[in-house]
Structure 1
Amino acid sequence: MGLSFFFSKHQVDRSQQSIDSQQNLKSELLSFTAPQLKTHLLAFSLSLAYLVYLVVTSARIGIPRDESIYFYAADRFVDWFVQIPKLGWSVFSEETIYDGFKVNHEHPMLMKMLFGLSHHYLHVKWSLISDPILAYRLPTMLLGGATVYLTSLLGSCLGGLWLGLSSALFLIGMPRLFFHAHLACFDLPVTAMWLFIALAYFWAWFDQKWILGSGVALGLGLATKLNAFFAPFSLLLLSIYHLVQIKDRKQKTRWFKHYAMVALSMIILGLAVFWLHWPWLYDQTWSRLVEYISFHARHVHYPVDYLGTLYHGPPFPIHFPFVFTLFTIPVAVLILGIIGIFKLIHLSWQRWQTRNTSLPIELFILINLMAPILIIALPNTPIFGGTKHWMPSMPFLAITAAWALLNIMKHINLVKNRMITGLTIIALVAPGLWLTHEYGAHGPAWYNSIAGGAPGAAEMRMPRNFWGYSSIEMLPWLNQRDKSSKAVFWHNATGLAVHHYKKAHWLDRNIQSTGDWTYPYADWALYHHQQEKLPEEVDLWWRYGTPLPVEGFFIESVQQVGVYGSVQAREQLEQP
């Protein structure tokens, strides 16, 4: 009798513990609250402020090699586009499409279309923007603002206005993301698109209209850059997890139909939007699609200097994106983000153990945060782009860091005091905002204090340059040189970039580009520091008879770009 009573009581205790555990878990799990007007106003205000700051700082950002090529491809699209009124349907002839889209056809057209149309109408035709480079870049900047808007919106819906505010500010205070948010390239746009795809999937949980929206979102993502191809597979894993958790047959059937409809939308609408946006695929569709996929499947591997080893090809170290992230995110965001990631993992594991069937929002954040990083961690994935290739993780890292911060404050009873909450958030976001203002124009050269800043990163032999963009720091100096010494070897900067510097009046029109590998004929030679380019710097020493540059640009005493001069040019420099 006593023994049976003991077991009955023990079972009741365990049952009560299970109920308490479920209630505690439920209180910790993330939940969704529909956005209100104030939620949208906060998100819009932050995104508008970011957009304005991107616009006014555009002239601080140099033109990387790939951006100059996208300028050219955008112009070729406009050449095709303006023929539509004259040629009508014949504009879709094989020859006309080839002329309009052959340049840089290894990438989809959506952003190049927007770059070209923005430049053509806002600068050339309507003269609304005087700076032609800004006119090309404006679509990326708008998507930068949209990324901040969506990040703040998601944060607010998951944890209130404080989470929305701090998530957006953590994202804004990322120097490398700030740099890429200026460029007429694809890395910030695909970050925005990955976020949009994920949110369309997320919103479809609560509103079935977004089932169609998820397909359109994926199509726009695929039309931006190949990275978006991996987003639906990450979301597929999340869908499978959710279905496995559900035990009720009716509920499982209902959610299976839901996810099947999302998948069909992404496959049918996604591929339709992708094909429709790109006239290059209208003719020879299959062969050109295979060519596109093959190009990226066998992508060239540019050399990357990483922790003292110059990698020319795979296998690449699995830890590359993790170490790079450790060194390139503001420390407050990094530490809070790591705490948040472990908390998300813990909650996801508890959810699995308790068979909690509510929507797995924690896993939604975690998967979208980790998937872009894990893709780059694969040994055969090209790593030459550095952090820009897993930038789609950053909005989710910002939300995770902000969520961790507010959770910590909640546990120590600080979150109830608005003033303390606000001051704490300001104290933690301010360093990132200052670093972005101070170093954002040279984002690829910025490293946090864990790496030891730029000097520590240089000592560890981490890359510090990005395809010639730092030439911009030498433009004022070159503009002041004698008119008889105007021939310049630009090293990693392209002739197209030089052309656009002149067009924007950032560079004296009398200064000439001698072309690639033509430093013997140049009065001045720029050298952008990259480890694999050191033999070229030695060639400059021999050509100009000195190992010392006459001018340069440095970040924390670490050279980013140097200028060498011929004997005659140096003599003129020494004259009063």
Structure 2
Amino acid sequence: MATIGPLVFYALWPWIWRDTLARLREYASFHLNHEYYNMEFLGQNHWTPPMPRAYAPLMTAATVPAVTLCLFVAGLCAAARERLVYPLARAAARLAPERGRLAAAARALAARLRPPPPDAGGTALLWFLAIAAVYGAWLSPSTPIFGGTKHWMTAYPFIALFAGAAFSAAVRRARVALRALLVARRVPGAPRAVAGAAARGPLVPALLGAAVVAAPVAETLHAHPWALSAYTPLVGGAPGAASLGLNRTFWGYTTGAVVDYLNEHVPPRGTVYIHDTAGQAWDMLLRDGRLRKDIRGVGAVAGADFALYHHEKHMLGQAYQAWVAFGTTSPDHIAGLDGVPVILVYRNQSR
């Protein structure tokens, strides 16, 4: 990781092939001096550090599939038992007095635990440190950038590795249990090899694998195209997250969800206040033919025919401006996920 990692970083980023040092300095400066984001968390808008200590772990629990988190915890605990508890128990058994309850307990614990397999590279420790390094930044009161899950998602591959180790252990145990079941209930005279072959075959990992991916696949399909507004059932999905006061959207990515409404209702050469939609994204909707070519995006709500409002707590003032300018507090169109408003369209009542 110390040698191949930087080489891959350099090879896959052509921008730093020329003026490498200057552009790396620019890259570092961009992040170290980045302006602060506004982010809603548990009903409160946060703009500057320090970050709430519960922010990263709670958002991880609210956005990563529960089956992945459960397998991660199981894999982490198994690694800790192998790499930490077993050596400590052996050491306690050796160092404790020959007699007494402490010595007996230490020897009994050491006897119950199996020696861990050889791991000279400290693989589990490397995985754990990779996770701790990413999440550790969110414990500092001076972490310069505030944002969402994108800032710690680099820890997810290592979380998945622990989860994969737990899944592999589950497959092994399921095979042993299946073999014992088949042997106990086998037809008289059937060879034990049949039971062993069934347990060793692809059936067990295929069934367990399907059980693991079924819920995340269903959640992903259900959330499309509202991916950044989706939350897991652990917090009650999108409605539960809205009730908890978690962020619903970011950077106006949901404009594409209302293009059909705009195409139908905006008058010829009508104007739409695009709110938080990036100008390049609006231009791409026009260029791709998703929006009528005559619809014009404008940067002020006053005088516009329609106004978009992407719901974020710190942008409520934008909704108020539309109320005043258009003479109504009722949106003409609402789009969102599972009944949670994410993007609202206001219509100028005087037009």
TM-score, structure 2 normalization: 0.78
User: Which of the numbers 218, 235, 251 marks the counterpart of 1:467?
Assistant: 251
Where do residues 75-474 of structure 1 align in structure 2 (5 Å cutoff)?
198=1, 211=3, 213-220=4-11, 223=13, 275=16, 277-279=17-19, 285=22, 290=25, 292-350=27-85, 353=88, 358-382=120-144, 384-412=146-174, 413-414=176-177, 416-417=199-200, 418-474=202-258
CA contact (8 A) 1:319 1:377 kept: no
**Displacement, 1:485?**
6.1
| Aligned-residue offset at 1:414 | 4.7
Secondary structure class of the residue paired with 1:526: strand
CA contact (8 A) 2:74 2:163 kept: yes
**Number of the residue aligned with 1:168:** none
1:534-569 superposed Cα distances (whole Å, 9 cap, x missing partner): 121111111111111101212111001000000144
Secondary structure of the corresponding residue to residue 509 of structure 1: coil
Amino acid at match of 2:10: G
1:28 alignment partner in structure 2: none
Structure 2 residue aligned with 1:13:
none
Deviation (angstroms), 1:490: 0.6
Which letter maps to 2:56?
P
Q: Return the TM-score normalized by structure 1.
A: 0.49
Give the Cα separation in 2 of the matches to 1:437 and 1:338. 26
Separation (CA, whole Å) in 2 of partners of 1:357 and 1:405: 19
Task: Give unpaired runs (5+ residues) of structure 2.
Answer: 92-117, 179-198
Deviations 1:500-557 (A, max 9, x none): 1111112111110112xx1012100000000000121111111111111101212111
**What's 2:326 paired with?**
544
Query: 1:376–1:383: 8 Å Cα contact kept in structure 2?
Result: no
Query: Residues of 2 paired with 1:463 and 1:529: CA distance?
Result: 9
Q: Distance in 2 between matches of 1:331 and 1:382?
A: 30
Distance 1:396 1:474, change over 3 A: same
Q: Provide the rounded CA distance (Å) in 1 between the counterparts of 2:344 and 2:177.
A: 50
In structure 2, the partner of 1:24 is: none
Q: Deviations over 1:329-352 (max 9, x none)?
A: 111111111222222333332586
Structure 2 equivalent of residue 259 of structure 1: none
Q: Distance in 1 between matches of 2:131 and 2:28?
A: 25
Contact 1:554 1:561 (C-alpha < 8 Å) held by counterparts: yes
- 1:290 Cα shift? 4.9
The separation in 2 between residues aligned to 1:383 and 1:344, in whole angstroms, is 32
2:49, 2:142 within 8 Å by CA — same for their partners in 1? yes
Separation in 1 of the partners of 2:227 and 2:145? 17
Residue identity opposite 1:372 in structure 2: V
Mapped contact 2:34–2:145 kept (Cα < 8 A)? no
Q: Partners in 2 of 1:510 and 1:274 — Cα distance?
A: 37
Question: What is the one-letter code of the residue matched to 2:233?
Answer: S
SS of the residue aligned with 1:505? Answer: coil
Q: d(CA) in 2 for partners of 1:301 and 1:333?
A: 31
Is 1:528 aligned to residue 310 of structure 2?
yes
Aligned to 2:192: none
Given the superposition, is the C-alpha separation of residues 542 and 214 from structure 1 closer, same or farther in structure 2, using an over 3 Å criterion?
closer
> Which residue of structure 2 lines up, in the alignment, with residue 25 of structure 1?
none
Q: CA deviation at 1:454?
A: 0.6
**Partner Cα distance (2:278, 2:60) in 1:** 29
Distance 1:357 1:402 in 2: 17
- Across the two proteins, how many residue pairs are aligned to each other? 302
Q: Any gaps of 5 or more consecutive residues in structure 1?
A: 1-197, 202-210, 224-272, 570-576
Query: CA separation in 1, counterparts of 2:171 and 2:276?
Result: 48
> What percentage of aligned pairs have identical amino acids?
27
How far apart, in 2, do the equivalents of 1:521 and 1:216 lie? 54
Letter of the 1:542 partner, please give it: V
* TM-fit CA distance, 1:382: 4.7
Q: Give the AA of the match of 2:133.
A: A
Does the CA contact (< 8 Å) of 2:268 and 2:295 recur in 1? no
User: Using a 3 Å threshold, how does the CA distance of structure 1 residues 440 and 342 change in structure 2: closer, same or farther?
Assistant: farther
User: Which has more helix, going by share of residues?
Assistant: 1
Q: Which amino acid aligns with 1:217?
A: V
Shift of 1:441: 2.8
Contact 1:332 1:428 in 2 (8 A): yes
> Residue 134 of structure 2 aligns to which amino acid in structure 1?
P
**Cα deviation code 1:79-113 (max 9, x no counterpart):** xxxxxxxxxxxxxxxxxxxxxxxxxxxxxxxxxxx
Letter of the 1:462 counterpart: L
Q: 1:403 to 1:565 in 2, by over 3 A?
A: same
Deviation of 1:357 (Å)? 6.5
Aligned residue for 2:302, secondary structure, equals helix
Residue 265 of structure 2 aligns to a residue whose secondary structure is coil
> Aligned partners of 2:152, 2:87: CA distance in 1, in Å?
28
Q: Deviations over 1:176-218 (max 9, x none)?
A: xxxxxxxxxxxxxxxxxxxxxx4xx5xxxxxxxxx5x344124
Report the Cα distance in structure 1 between the residues aligned to 2:296 and 2:85, rounded to whole angstroms: 65
Q: State the match for 2:276 in structure 1.
A: 492
The aligned counterpart of 1:18 is none
Which letter does structure 1 place at the counterpart of 2:41?
Y
Two-structure CA RMSD over aligned residues (Å): 2.6
For residues 543 and 376 of structure 1, the distance between their equivalents in structure 2, rounded to whole angstroms, comes to 41
